[in-house]
């Protein structure tokens, strides 16, 4: 017997993801101490949020939309543009990610350790 299909999306789930994103972004001012793989996992959360947003109207988002905008501002302040998608150009083409639409994948932390910077330099 097949399991039932998933139910409709829940605003609480999206709100939780927005809260996690906000927590991540709030800590960027202190710098980023992990490697590129961890960074990609962290910014994947913003992609998850982006994919969930169209399922809800502005009235449903309410304060969560405000929290997301504030978190995004903190992310922009704590990061710098990068010349290519941090997942790599091939992945960006396959996923159809652009620096305009998926800007979080085209940014790196302003302050990171030397190992992160070496990994970042190898992204093509």
The residue with tokens 């992160």 is 116
Confidence band, pLDDT 50/70/90 cuts, at residue 6: confident
Q: Give the mean pLDDT of 51-69.
A: 95
Instruction: Give pLDDT, residue 106.
Output: 99
Mean pLDDT across the chain: 95
Instruction: Give pLDDT, residue 23.
Output: 98
Question: CA-to-CA distance for 121 and 28, rounded, in angstroms?
Answer: 20
Q: What's this model's pTM, rounded to 2 decimal places?
A: 0.91
Question: CA-to-CA distance for 36 and 19, rounded, in angstroms?
Answer: 22
Cβ neighbour number for residue 13 with a 10 Å cutoff: 12
């Amino acid at each position: 017997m097949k399991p039932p299909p998933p139910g409709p999306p829940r605003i609480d789930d999206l709100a939780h993801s927005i809260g996690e994103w906000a927590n991540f972004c709030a800590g960027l001012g202190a710098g980023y101490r992990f490697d590129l793989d961890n960074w990609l996992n962290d910014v994947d959360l913003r992609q998850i949020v982006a994919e969930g947003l169209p399922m809800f109207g502005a009235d449903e988002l309410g304060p969560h939309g405000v929290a997301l905008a504030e978190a995004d501002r903190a992310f922009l302040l704590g990061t710098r543009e990068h010349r290519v998608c941090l997942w790599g150009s091939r992945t960006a083409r396959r996923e159809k990610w652009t620096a305009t639409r998926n800007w979080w994948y085209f940014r790196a932390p302003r302050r990171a350790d030397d190992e992160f910077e070496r990994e970042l330099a190898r992204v093509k």
